[in-house]
Structure 1
Amino acid sequence: MPHLALYTFGVLKSPLADPAPLTREFHHSGEAVYRRISRHPGYLARAEPVDGDRGTLFDLDWGAWGEFAVPAWYGKGRAVETTALAATLSLWTDLRPAFDAVYSGLHREALNRRYDWFERTGHPSYVFWWVSDGVTPTWQDGVSRLEHLHDHGSAPHAFTFHHSFAPDGTPTRIRGIGPTSDQVR
């Protein structure tokens, strides 16, 4: 059975190494969100460094998740002092559990604060795609699909909650997500 891959990416207002209260607050809330989401029904796995957090995101060994990559529009830094991004890569059983995890609890609270921490870039902040059972998506997969979503909009290759697709490529809509047939955008 296929699994749903989710890549998220945001450009932070301050570098990760910034000791300011907002940066510390972002780190603290992120750790709590990860713990909560990892226990959510439908969650399967997320990219984590093989040897823990020893270095920059770009230098870490991500194992089967591949070399860390970022979209072309990210232009802040790659060194410890200048890296200003947050990215996740995860696997889910389906859209509904992912939606429920993203839009409830601690993650919902963090989303409500996103503009305290993240720049408004005009680029999508997340993308979904289906992967075959046993396939681990890579950071580069996420980047290429996020860039595709930005350039071409939702398609079976790269989509959002609001314009989603089933594993067979047909458009789908789950209750409470996306426009109804009588809504035109």
Structure 2
Amino acid sequence: MTETIAAYELAQVNIARLKAPLDSPQLKDFVDGLDPVNADADAADGFVWRLQGEEGNATDVPVFGDSWLIVNMSVWRDTDALTSYMYQGRHREMLARRREWFERIQEAVTALWWVPAGHRPTVAEAEARLLHLRAHGPTAHAFTLRTSFPPGASTPVSGEVPEGLGCSV
């Protein structure tokens, strides 16, 4: 790993609008899967940090002032580490079922950006990055796995995302 990349870590945020309350029968499988999926993330190669509320997940952390939105935010070594985790095991299984639990949102719900190593982003930062991505498309300030940027770059790097498993919820 080069010195430039080691100086940065990859932050990601993903928001989703619930179809039903978290304690509803409709969301039982999602809620039951949170702890195991989060444990998998915590143990994944390249995982650095994730946002947690009082329950050990982030379902109780407010985002955009909307009680029907939930947020997932984490920091990873790089896009390869994040992608490797996202598209395997229990996370892949839950990702495949996301339409059962979450409304389809037309605007960007996932954003990535580089942070200095050791920095832990706030929800306000994540909201700003998502709004920037929505307004300007992928840039070095906020990007996607499909159009990513290396740390300090202004030219995108094309990302390979497995068919049918895009990041939007």
Structure 1 and Structure 2 fold alike (TM over 0.5): yes
Partner SS, residue 3 of structure 1: strand
Q: Is the 8 A contact 1:3 1:130 kept in 2?
A: yes
What amino acid maps onto 2:98 in structure 1?
R
User: How much does 1:147 deviate?
Assistant: 1.4
What amino acid maps onto 1:25 in structure 2?
D
Residues in 1 aligned to 2:135 and 2:118: alpha-carbon distance in whole angstroms: 29
User: How much does 1:177 deviate?
Assistant: 4.3
Residues in 1 aligned to 2:96 and 2:55: alpha-carbon distance in whole angstroms: 27
What amino acid maps onto 1:139 in structure 2?
V
User: How much does 1:47 deviate?
Assistant: 1.2
Q: Is the 8 A contact 1:3 1:131 kept in 2?
A: yes
2:50 to 46, 52, 57: 46
Report matched runs for 1:165-180 at 5 Å: 165-169=149-153, 170-173=155-158, 176-177=160-161
Residues in 1 aligned to 2:137 and 2:64: alpha-carbon distance in whole angstroms: 16
Gaps of 5+ in 1: 59-67, 78-83, 179-185
Residue number in structure 2 paired with 1:111: 95
What amino acid maps onto 1:71 in structure 2?
F
Gaps of 5+ in 2: 1-6, 163-169
Partner SS, residue 135 of structure 1: coil
Following TM superposition, the consecutive aligned residue runs of length 4 or more in structure 1 with deviations greater than 4 angstroms are none
Q: Is the 8 A contact 1:4 1:93 kept in 2?
A: yes
Larger radius of gyration: 1
- 1:2 matched to 2:8: yes
What amino acid maps onto 1:134 in structure 2?
G
2:121 to 109, 122, 137: 137
Residue number in structure 2 paired with 1:23: 27
1:155 to 123, 126, 139: 139
Greater share of helix: 2
Q: Is the 8 A contact 2:10 2:112 kept in 1?
A: yes
- 1:71 matched to 2:64: yes
Residues in 2 aligned to 1:29 and 1:161: alpha-carbon distance in whole angstroms: 24
Q: Is the 8 A contact 1:10 1:119 kept in 2?
A: yes
Aligned CA RMSD, in angstroms, stands at: 2.0
